[in-house]
Structure 1
Amino acid sequence: MKRLMTALLAAVMTVTMAGTALAAEDPAALLERVTQKANELDSMDCDLGVHAVMVMQDPEMDLDLSLNLDMMMNMKMDQIKSGNLRYKADMAMEFLGQTEYATVFYKDGYYYMDSNGEKIKYPMDLNSMIASVEQTTAAADLAPSLMKSLSVREEGENRVLSYVADPAKMNAYVQDALKPLLGSMDVGMIIREVKGEYVINKDDYYTSMNMYMVMDMSSYGETLRIIMLLEGNFNNPGQPVNLELPSTDGYSDLSTYYGTSRGSSGATGPAAEIW
C-alpha cells in the first residue's frame, strides 16, 4: 500500500503538470502568451486539494472495498529559474481514519520531511528532477495529439480553458514522465479518464484549476481503481513569493540506512517508503 500511495502522489503531480502543458499547446495566441509567461516565472505559491476514492476488490468476500483519501497542500517555490531552487510544502492528509501532518522542504541538495514530529532527510537533486519533468512536458509536437478536445470561453475578465485528454495516449505520456520519479518500483498504471479546466486572468496567468481523473494502479498483485478530483489555486501569480525555510537541525539522514548517493532522484530507497 505504501508503494501505491507513493506512486499516486507522483502521478497527481505529473498529471497536473501535464494538464498545464497540454492546455498551453493550443495554437491560439492567447495560450502562447500564457505559456511564455508561465515559463518565465521564477517563483510559485499554490494551494492544492485532492479528494480520492480508491476501490479495491476483496476476492475472499467477492465485493469491492472503498477507501477515501483527502489531502490539502500549500506549496511554495522560488529561484526556479535562477538555479538555486528552494521549495516548501505544508500538507495534511486524512486516510484510513488517521490524519497526518507534514512539512517538506528542499535545501542545498537535501529533501527534508517533518511528519508529526519525526524528522528525516535524504539527498535529492531536485533541480535535475524538475528539469527532467519539464523536458517531458515541453514536447510540443506531442502535446496536441494527447487531447480529445480543447476549448476556451470567457467569464468576465477571465478565460476558462477546458480540456479532455485521450486516455490511451495519456497513458504513454504519464508512464514515460514517471520513470525518473518511480525508478524500479513495481507499479502499473492505466488512465481511464482525464478532464478539467484552468482559469486564466486578464494578465494571462493561470489562477485556478480543477481536474477529474480515473485510473487503475497496481503493485505486487494489488490493484486499485482511483477516482480523483483535484482543485488548485495559484496565489498572486507573477508576484514574488515570501518563502522562509525551517531550520535543518535535528533531521536523521536516511542515506545512512538506505545507501543512497548524493544526486539520486530519490525514486528508490527512502522515497519509495515515505507514505
Structure 2
Amino acid sequence: MKAKMKKISALFLSCILLFSITACQKKRTAKEVMQSSLKQSSSLKDADFNGNASYTIETGKEGSQSTINFKMNFDTKLQTLKKDNLKMSMTSTINMLGQNINMTMYYADGYYYMNSNGTKQKMKMDIASLQKQIHSTTGQSTLPIKYYKDLKLSEDDGNNVISYSINSDGLNKYVENITNSMSAITGGSDSIKITSMSGKKTLNDKDLPVKESIKMVIESNSNEVGKITLKMDLIYHNPGKSVTVSLPKDLNTYQEVSSNN
C-alpha cells in the first residue's frame, strides 16, 4: 500500500510540476510578437493577397474645401524567381466620380506593364536593384520596430491580433530614404509627409499576417493645403507558401513610356 501511495504521490507531483511549468512559461509581449511578425514577413519571397482601399482627398482651406472620394479593390500575386527576379500580376477596379476604371498590372524582366481600359503601356523599372538600394540605404527590408508605438495584443479565434500606431517623425525619415532611393522613378520628391498611421494585424501560428487593416493620413510638405486619408483592408492567402504568377502572352505589344511621363 505504501509503495502504491508513493507512486500515486509521485505521479501527482509530476502533474503539478508539469502544469506549473506550463503556467509559468513567459507570455510574449505585444512588442515581441510584432518583432517576430516583422522578421517572418521580411523573409517571405512570395505573396498572394487581395483587398480594398478607399481614398478621401481634401483640398482647399476651411470654408472652401472640396472633397473627392474613390475606392479601389485589387487582387495581387508576387513570385520571386532565381536571382531575386520578381514577377507580379495585379487586377484592380477603381471607382471614381461614379465611373469604374479597370486595370491590370504586371511586372517581369525589369518592366512594369499597365493595361488601363485597353491602353497598354510599359515602363522600365529594376525592382531587384531598387530593393537592394533601399535595404542598403535604410538598413531594413521592413519598417523598423522602433517606429511602432501603442502596441496592444489580443486574441481572436485562437489568432494573435496586434494593433499599433506609427511614430510619424521616424516614418517620414524612412519614407524620405526610400523616396531618395527611388529618385529615378519619383524624382526624389519630398513634397508629402505622413501625419499619422495606424493599423491592426491578425497573425497565424507562425506570426505571419492573415488579415491586416491600415489607416494613413498624408499631407503636403509644401504650402499647399489639403490631405489624403487612405484606408486599406488586406487578406493574405496561404502566407509563407510559394506562388505562381501567370503573365499574358501579349506583353510585347505594350508601348514603352518614360518614367517621367
TM-score (norm 1): 0.73
Match runs of 1:1-150 below 5 Å = 28=32, 30-57=33-60, 62-79=63-80, 82-135=83-136, 138-139=139-140, 143-150=144-151
Q: 1:130 to 1:73 in 2, by over 3 A?
A: farther
Match of 2:10 in 1: none
Are 1:198 and 2:201 matched, yes or no? yes
Cα distance, 1:131 vs. partner?
Answer: 3.0
Report the Cα offset of residue 109 of structure 1.
1.6
Q: CA deviation at 1:81?
A: 6.9
Q: Does 1:216 align with 2:219?
A: yes
Structure 1 residues 49 and 138: alpha-carbon distance in aligned structure 2, compared to 1, 3 A threshold = farther
* C-alpha contact (below 8 Å) 2:213/2:233 kept by paired residues: yes
Amino acid at match of 2:219: D
Q: Note if contact 2:172-2:193 (Cα within 8 Å) is conserved in structure 1.
A: yes
Q: Is 1:37–1:205's contact at 8 Å kept on the other side of the alignment?
A: yes
Q: 1:175–1:189: 8 Å Cα contact kept in structure 2?
A: no
Distance, in Å, in 2 between the alignment partners of 1:133 and 1:51 is 27
**CA shift in 2, pair 1:188/1:80, >3 Å:** farther
Deviations 1:12-69 (A, max 9, x none): xxxxxxxxxxxxxx752x445434432332211111311111111169xx51100002
SS of 1:249 mapped into structure 2: helix
RMSD: 2.7
**Pairs within 5 Å for 1:244-255:** 244-247=246-249, 248-254=251-257
Tell me if structure 1 keeps the 8 A contact 2:61–2:225. no
Please give the secondary structure, in 1, of the residue aligned with 2:205.
coil
Query: Per the alignment, in what secondary structure is the counterpart of residue 177 of structure 1?
Result: helix
Higher relative contact order (CA 8 A, sep 6+): 1
Deviations 1:166-189 (A, max 9, x none): 223322222222223353265511
Distance 1:52 1:217 in 2: 15
Asked whether the 8 Å contact 2:54–2:231 carries over to 1, the reply is yes
Q: By how many angstroms is 1:202 displaced? A: 1.8
Q: What is residue 228 of structure 2 aligned with on the other side? A: 226
The residue type paired with residue 232 of structure 2 is: L
How big is the shift at 1:136? 5.6
**Counterpart code for 2:103:** A
Aligned residues: 228
Percent identity, aligned pairs only? 25
> Computing the radius of gyration over CA atoms, which structure comes out larger, 1 or 2?
2
Alpha-carbon distance between aligned partners in 2 of 1:104 and 1:136, rounded to the nearest angstrom: 28
Aligned residue for 1:4?
Answer: none
CA change 1:131–1:93 in 2 (3 A) is: farther
Going from structure 1 to structure 2, the CA distance change for 1:236 and 1:97 (only over 3 Å counts) comes to same
Q: Per-residue deviation at 1:71?
A: 1.1
Equivalent position amino acid for 2:231 in 1: L
**Shift in CA distance, 191/109, structure 1 to aligned 2, threshold 3 Å:** closer
Q: Which moved more, 1:222-231 or 1:129-138?
A: 129-138
> 1:113 corresponds to which letter in structure 2?
M
Report the secondary structure of 2:245's partner residue: coil
Offset at residue 218 of structure 1 (A): 6.0
Q: What SS is found at the alignment partner of 1:131?
A: helix
TM-score (norm 2): 0.76
In structure 1, how many angstroms separate the alpha carbons of the residues matched to 2:232 and 2:73? 10
C-alpha separation in 1, matches of 2:46 and 2:188: 31
